[in-house]
Amino acid sequence: VVNERLKDTYMQLEKRRTVYENRRFYRRNFRTAAAILLVCLAIPGVVYASVKSGFFEGMFGNETKTSTEVIHTEIDDGKGGTVAVDIPSKEYVPVDEAKATELLGKWVMDKPIITQIGEHTLTVESFAYDRQGALMYFTLKREGGVTALAGNEHTNLTKGAYFTEEADFYLSVEASGEITGCDNIYLDTEKSTDDCMYCYSYILWPEALTKDASVNLIINKYPGSAKETNAMSDEEEQTWWAKTTTEQIRLSGKGQIPNQCIDLGENGYLEYSPISICVDMSKGLGLSAEEAADPYYMKHLEIKYKDGSSYIISDQEENINNSGYTLGTDEGYKAAFNRLVDPEQIAEIIVNEVSFPVQ
């Protein structure tokens, strides 16, 4: 049963990728004509304090997340056969709420944002970001059942929850009007119901942000459900997408979580914060320019702490993936952490077989 549902998940993710590429293409054409709306709804501070706690637990904790071992399965190769796939193991650990508040509290947006999108109600409960990535906790509600987003315990093991063909809108997070974040949406299957989905989005920027970058939630609203385009000609589909409107919502004015770096010159460079890491794979690892841009060549990434413990973010040989999301970019290999990292407690960071000591 697990294998069959994983196969279905991979098929859905391929559809998600194709539709997402179409959305990005057509969005460039209608952006200048899109309606720009600013929305913000406040709730009392005492309520929001508990929401922040839910944010830290949801992004970094293990109260509603279950650690998993490696899963060996097969999926359709699209050519009438199958291909073997190993789903890496993933470990979740408890989060220290007090430490999370100390490290991140001042950077988390002040109040939730609520907006109505057709029959769905979107609430961005919490958001925080650094120059390499971001974290967003949101809920999506619809009386009679959420239809725009789908996910389960198996999408949590692969590429995350996805927008369905029933959706009449699409969400993305954008910085400075030009950098669209890539994300993995983890669905809290314990909290979620048919009418309300609890989601934790791990976001990475394809390009590092400048210090003055503004970050916005982009809601693309379609003239109907996405599945309507299935029976359209290319010309009809282009006309349909051109009718899409855009709502832009400022997510946070709190600024960026500070990043620290280890600069070894030509022998290596990386940046890290409590929520993410970016490794310049072109320096110190013996890789060609082509190999440095390929995330396949990240064989092992580990943070070793001063107390002797460690956090293995990924290990290719052992099939370990303890990240919220990873992304290969021209700037380097990026990872969003699935647990809180205290930069002051790091002794060294290991990339493949290269040590980056923290001075």
Beta bridge partners of 249: 217
CA geometry: angle 159, 123, 338, nearest 5 deg? 40
Question: For the residues 297-308, what does the mean pLDDT come to?
Answer: 97
pLDDT digit string, tens, across residues 105-154: 999 998 999 999 999 999 999 999 999 999 999 999 999 999 999 999 99
| Region of 274 on the Ramachandran plot (φ > 0 left; ψ -120 to 50 alpha; else beta) | alpha
Q: Pick from 258, 273, 276, 254: which is nearest to 128 by CA?
A: 254
pLDDT at 3 over 70: no
Q: Where are the beta strands (DSSP E) in 142-258?
A: 149-150, 162-163, 169-175, 179-180, 182-187, 196-204, 215-221, 245-252
Mean pLDDT of 288-316: 95
Q: What is the mean pLDDT of residues 163-173?
A: 96
pTM of the model: 0.86
Q: What is the pLDDT of residue 293?
A: 87
Residue 253 has pLDDT above 90, yes or no: no
Q: Is 342 exposed, middle or buried (0-12, 13-18, 19+ CB in 10 A)?
A: middle
240: closest CA among 226, 256, 251?
226
Token digits of residue 288:
């060609």
E strand or H helix at 106, and its extent? none
